[in-house]
Structure 1
Amino acid sequence: MKKTIKATVVGLTGVLALTACTSNDIGGGGSKDTLSLVGFSVLETANDAEFKAFEDTDAGKDIDFAPSYGASGDQSRAVEAGAEADIVHFSLETDMKRVVDAGLVAEDWKDNATNGIATSSVVVFVVRKGNPEGIAGWDDLVKDGTSIVAANPGSSGAARWSMLAAWQHVIGNGGTEDEAKEYISQLLANTPVLPASARDATSAFLEGDQDVLITYENEAILAKQNGTDIDYVIPEDTLLIENPAAVTVDAKDGAQDFLDFLESAEGQEIYAGYGFRPTAGVEGVEVPEVEGANDPANPFPTPAQLFTIDGDFGGWSEAAEKFFADGEDGEPLGIVIDLIEKSGSDAQED
């Protein structure tokens, strides 16, 4: 019989609000050493459990945490600008590259068994309880009258993963780039507002009346763990999400021990309990039953087509320039950013 990791959650409004916690929020202070963790928006609840488990180990018994969460791009830029960080955990490799280029994270951060990846997920659709609109796949999202919530690709890693998954739905099924652009345009036409982060997008969906939210699978599972009246759909073709983490070059003692813990079997099993898929390269992970998953006993089914950033887009360095370039210094806009500007969608930022 599989073991079950039950996520401990509180009221939805509190859990799904962006916060920047102090060390006393996690439990400690006093003579403990405090590590600053800067992460993307949806890590908070799962990380609280990771902190507590690590503090029960010999390596973590004298460690406390001061975490900060927000949209991945915003968090990366904050660290580049001088925000304190011992551990960084972003949605995208491009956000990690920013702090590597600034000399804040070592260039060899990927040289480990997980290739620098600490959490994984896939792009899914969150729908109203019972899926009243019958959303089954990507083509349903561009039907007339379908109302969508998605985050802003200018600040949110989740949004960039989602837009690439939408693009590859067309290309990976034999379509042309012109057809993919038209599909993204139709998708944006059904998405009037683009909240700043994945967590903001979830809150907007739960508080509104839209038909579907495009987001991380783990975010959908967490919402169900909180007892919200939603379901989620894993489309037949979707994109593997891989979130990088690293310690900074001036990290305090204990930071590398904590990162090693996150990338251990125990750390991955804790993350799995909150809806994150186990990361490739970690041996001995026993996937638990996951409360809130469509099938708790088989929480992470393999989609019929699972696209990857390296295999289908040539890696983040190519994808970022092609799809998300911001047009600075006279350079052209990336495809997605250009389509957003033409769409009239309200791209909100923190």
Structure 2
Amino acid sequence: MNTTIKVAVAALTGALALTGCSTAAGSDSADTVDLMGYSVLEAANKPVFEDFQNTEEGKDAEFNTSYGASGDQSRAVESGAAADVVHFSLETDVTRLVGDGLVDESWKDTPTKGIATSSVVVFVVRKGNPDDIRTWDDIVEPGVDIITPNPGSSGSARWNILAAWAHITGNGGSEAEAKAYLTKLLDNTIALPSSGRDATTAFTGGNGDVLLSYENEAILAKQGGADVDYIVPPDTLLIENPAAVTKDADPTAEAFLKFLTTPEAQADYAQSGFRPVVDGVDIPEVEGANDPSDPFPTPDKLFTIDDTFGGWDATADKYFGTGEDGDPLGIVTELQQETGKVGEE
């Protein structure tokens, strides 16, 4: 991706803050925006909020925020949690709300097709990469302990698993070979925490040899002082995270949603390790990246959910279906049950 960057530098605080809820207290005159986001956005959103509040549309804005595993956050909104803006890991976590009448079905009718942030799947390893992990084949070698979030709750987990699947089928392998590969990967997995942030916390706490994660989460961990490195494998999957407003959102929330894909906001996200989703974003350097002056190298082969899998509509149930209402189990769900790696809920 070609990017030109001009960044207003913003301080990043709490880089490895624990996932949870935070509330920005507003004045009586403030326009309060309730934002529900997936877990790894917590630190990245702080400079974005500040820059939006420096605009005419956002000068009176305050934010009430809640962060957690993407699927859990979506289900919370479905159950009545307050939300003006949702920013999730997966498209399916937004379309769930479309089906419930909470988000308009036209939410993807934007220049970025509803996408607000992007990244790629990487391997987070111990400092110096003592196990010399470079490729997808390396992580399924005997004795390699893997941590990845639980696909039942985490959007990050689903991107990770699909990247592993694409490593096989995208390079000419059959579905049977992809299942065999995922079985090896799950057999090597020692923990499936409920969210991407919880998985990072487990790994930086000393568990496992390799963490499957977002590139931005790896960069943020390094910015926060974690003693880790990360590897962008030769082939990986492009991660695209959607955002939308709910139907009852006021104009301030709608203005904030539009602001998310401006070069200014994308520059803020880039400083937290996200790859820009629009052109014209200037990034002088990104602290924590393998090469701060060239932070987002193009992998040798970059798979996408649309081109490789036919989009989320064709993918969600096929791989992650839960078998409810008589429907068959998804491929990954079934493999989790077969291997006993069902993860944490």
Task: Give the TM-score normalised by structure 1.
Answer: 0.95
Superposed displacement of residue 3, structure 1:
5.8
Supply the distance in 2 between the matched residues of 1:77 and 1:306 (Cα, whole angstroms): 30
Partner amino acid for 1:16?
A
Question: Unpaired segments of 5 or more residues in structure 2?
Answer: none
Matches within 5 A, 1:98-247: 98-247=96-245
Question: Match of 1:111, SS?
Answer: coil
Superposed displacement of residue 253, structure 1:
2.7
CA gap of 1:230–1:7, structure 2 versus 1, over 3 A, is: farther
What is the CA RMSD across the aligned residues, in angstroms?
1.5
Supply the distance in 2 between the matched residues of 1:192 and 1:294 (Cα, whole angstroms): 27
- Say whether 1:340 aligns with 2:336: yes
Asked if the contact 1:323–1:336 (Cα under 8 Å) also holds between the matched residues in 2, the reply is yes
Asked if the contact 2:9–2:268 (Cα under 8 Å) also holds between the matched residues in 1, the reply is no
- Residues 158-211 of structure 1: per-residue CA shift (max 9 Å, x gap): 000000000010111111111100100000001022100000000011112310
Partner amino acid for 2:138?
D
CA gap of 1:245–1:3, structure 2 versus 1, over 3 A, is: closer
Asked if the contact 1:138–1:166 (Cα under 8 Å) also holds between the matched residues in 2, the reply is yes
Please name the residue that 1:300 is paired with: 296
Question: Match of 2:316, SS?
Answer: helix
Asked if the contact 2:33–2:61 (Cα under 8 Å) also holds between the matched residues in 1, the reply is yes
Superposed displacement of residue 316, structure 1:
0.3
Task: Give the TM-score normalised by structure 2.
Answer: 0.96
CA gap of 1:36–1:2, structure 2 versus 1, over 3 A, is: closer
Supply the distance in 2 between the matched residues of 1:103 and 1:4 (Cα, whole angstroms): 38
Partner amino acid for 2:177?
E
Supply the distance in 2 between the matched residues of 1:311 and 1:166 (Cα, whole angstroms): 16
2:305 to 304, 309, 315: 309
Runs of 4 or more above 4 Å deviation: 1-7, 9-12
2:285 to 280, 286, 289: 289
Instruction: Tell me the number of residue pairs that the alignment of Structure 1 and Structure 2 aligns.
Output: 342
Supply the distance in 1 between the matched residues of 2:8 and 2:164 (Cα, whole angstroms): 32
Question: Match of 1:192, SS?
Answer: strand
Please name the residue that 2:68 is paired with: 70
Superposed displacement of residue 10, structure 1:
4.5
Superposed displacement of residue 331, structure 1:
1.1
Please name the residue that 2:258 is paired with: 260
Partner amino acid for 1:65?
F
- Residues 272-316 of structure 1: per-residue CA shift (max 9 Å, x gap): 01000001xx24222331000000110000000000000010000
Please name the residue that 1:320 is paired with: 316
Asked if the contact 2:5–2:281 (Cα under 8 Å) also holds between the matched residues in 1, the reply is no
Asked if the contact 1:269–1:288 (Cα under 8 Å) also holds between the matched residues in 2, the reply is no
Supply the distance in 1 between the matched residues of 2:341 and 2:11 (Cα, whole angstroms): 36
Asked if the contact 1:192–1:346 (Cα under 8 Å) also holds between the matched residues in 2, the reply is no
Partner amino acid for 1:286?
D
Question: Match of 2:251, SS?
Answer: coil
Question: Match of 1:312, SS?
Answer: helix
CA gap of 1:9–1:263, structure 2 versus 1, over 3 A, is: closer
Question: Match of 1:21, SS?
Answer: strand
Partner amino acid for 1:55?
Q
Supply the distance in 1 between the matched residues of 2:180 and 2:10 (Cα, whole angstroms): 40
2:47 to 46, 49, 53: 49
Asked if the contact 1:71–1:196 (Cα under 8 Å) also holds between the matched residues in 2, the reply is yes
Supply the distance in 2 between the matched residues of 1:51 and 1:11 (Cα, whole angstroms): 15
Question: Match of 2:319, SS?
Answer: helix
Asked if the contact 1:3–1:289 (Cα under 8 Å) also holds between the matched residues in 2, the reply is no
